[in-house]
């Protein structure tokens, strides 16, 4: 399928490049991976052309500024990444858009940077890489906390999506992975960490205050679609400190948007299609951590969806979510 739109597509700047080394695969691939994740011109565009991707929304690689404990340093790095993306969009306005990188130490500062990126730079939303480390490596903040309500008010006012991207749990909180470090990242821990954060948001009451919020998560829903029925069923007996006015599943189905990034599997795709409105599902690749040709080859040929839904999920839904104006 030609004309696909993808929006979990990463790049790095020099300050964040080293953070990706553990996720780049075999160490012999590092030089190749470095070229891919730093490039915002011919090489990336050629991969997009070969895969039928018309437009990619760029985002700073994980964990990005979320692992920088100093607020001022994090803001400097975020702004450098955001300016680099803005330059790439200016060079290739028909091929790229951008999601803002945000330091989440101070909700007011994060809201200010998001507002600048959306209103001055034309960004389409933001991508935040999980919890924020603040002050020291063992101090983390999740965004369901009351102190972030003004930030969510700004996201609501701007009416742009917030993409919640995975990151690994920090060592001081990861005793259950001891002796099994392979579990901590993409094979399992990414989904665990992101799904917990997403469910915390569902239970915080933030969607009652701001019902137009749009939260994106990747990998066909970070395992939540498979477990959503049971979550709601068992919460009849476990609602302590649950602050939502409605069942959790209502918020997930109405406020969450799910992409195919890095999960090119028919069985998981069927489950997500069964759980969510098809207008809330999107094609994405997760480049360069995944190959665009693998994502597109699976998506273009899966028989799980009709050609009408293939166009909807591959293009039309993103046009609507991101308010894109493409010919």
Q: What backbone phi and psi angles, to 5 degrees, belong to 129?
A: -95, 70
Q: What is the per-residue pLDDT for 20?
A: 81
pLDDT digits (tens, 9 = 90+) for 174-221: 999 999 999 999 999 999 999 999 999 999 999 999 999 999 999 999
Q: What is the per-residue pLDDT for 102?
A: 98
- Which phi-psi region, left, alpha or beta, contains residue 281 (left: φ > 0; alpha: ψ -120 to 50)? beta
Quick check: 24 pLDDT over 70? no
Q: Tell me the percentage of the chain whose pLDDT exceeds 70.
A: 98
Q: Which of 94, 274, 286, 327 is catalytic?
A: 286
Distance between CA atoms of residues 232 and 225, nearest Å: 12
DSSP per position, 66-90 = GG---HHHHHHHHHHHHHHHHHHHH
Q: What is the per-residue pLDDT for 320?
A: 97
pLDDT digits (tens, 9 = 90+) for 93-144: 999 999 999 999 999 999 999 999 999 999 999 999 999 999 999 999 999 9
Q: Measuring CA to CA, how many Å separate 131 from each of 36, 135, 159, 234, 244?
A: 26, 13, 22, 26, 21
> How confident is the prediction for the chain on average, in pLDDT?
95
Please state the pTM of the whole predicted model: 0.97
Distance between CA atoms of residues 275 and 84, nearest Å: 37
Distance between CA atoms of residues 248 and 39, nearest Å: 40
Q: What is the per-residue pLDDT for 127?
A: 98
Quick check: 25 pLDDT over 70? no
The DSSP letter of residue 126 is E
pLDDT digits (tens, 9 = 90+) for 296-327: 999 999 999 999 999 999 999 999 999 998 86
Distance between CA atoms of residues 43 and 51, nearest Å: 13
- Which phi-psi region, left, alpha or beta, contains residue 223 (left: φ > 0; alpha: ψ -120 to 50)? left
Distance between CA atoms of residues 148 and 144, nearest Å: 7
CB atoms under 10 Å from CB of 270, counted, come to 15
Average pLDDT rounded to a whole number, residues 232-253: 91
The vertex-236 CA angle with 234 and 238, nearest 5°, equals 75
Quick check: 26 pLDDT over 70? no
For this structure, is 303 an active site residue? no
Domains of the chain: 4-321 (3.20.20.140)
Q: What is the per-residue pLDDT for 237?
A: 82
Quick check: 241 pLDDT over 90? no
Q: What is the per-residue pLDDT for 28?
A: 67
Which residues, in sequence order, are CB contacts of 114 under 8 Å at separation 6+? 100, 102, 126, 154, 155, 158, 160
């Amino acid at each position: 399928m030609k004309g696909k739109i993808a929006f979990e597509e990463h790049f790095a700047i020099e300050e964040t490049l080293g953070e990706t080394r553990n996720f780049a695969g075999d160490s012999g691939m590092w030089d190749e991976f470095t070229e891919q994740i730093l490039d915002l011109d011919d090489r990336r565009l050629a991969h997009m052309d070969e895969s039928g991707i018309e437009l990619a929304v760029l985002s700073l690689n994980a964990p990005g500024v979320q692992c920088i404990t100093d607020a001022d340093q994090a803001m400097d790095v975020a702004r450098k990444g955001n300016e680099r993306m803005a330059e790439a969009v200016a060079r290739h306005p028909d091929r790229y858009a951008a999601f803002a990188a945000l330091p989440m130490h101070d909700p007011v500062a994060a809201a200010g940077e998001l507002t600048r990126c959306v209103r001055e730079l034309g960004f389409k939303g933001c991508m935040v890489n999980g919890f924020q480390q603040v002050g020291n490596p063992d101090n983390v903040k999740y965004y369901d906390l009351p102190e972030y309500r003004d930030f969510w008010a700004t996201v609501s006012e701007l009416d742009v999506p917030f993409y919640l991207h995975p990151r690994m749990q920090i060592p001081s909180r990861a005793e259950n992975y001891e002796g099994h470090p392979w579990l901590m990242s993409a094979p399992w821990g990414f989904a665990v960490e992101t799904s917990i954060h997403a469910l915390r948001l569902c239970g915080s009451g933030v969607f009652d205050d701001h019902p137009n919020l749009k939260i994106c998560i990747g990998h066909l829903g970070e395992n939540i679609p498979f477990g959503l029925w049971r979550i709601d069923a068992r919460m009849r007996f476990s609602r302590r400190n649950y602050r939502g006015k409605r069942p959790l599943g209502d918020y997930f189905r109405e406020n969450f948007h799910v992409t195919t990034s890095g999960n090119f599997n028919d069985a998981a795709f069927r489950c997500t299609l069964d759980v969510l409105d098809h207008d809330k599902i999107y094609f994405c690749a997760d480049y360069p951590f995944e190959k665009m040709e693998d994502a597109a080859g699976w998506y273009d040929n899966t028989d799980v969806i009709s050609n009408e839904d293939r166009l909807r999920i591959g293009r039309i839904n993103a046009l609507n979510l991101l308010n894109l104006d493409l010919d």
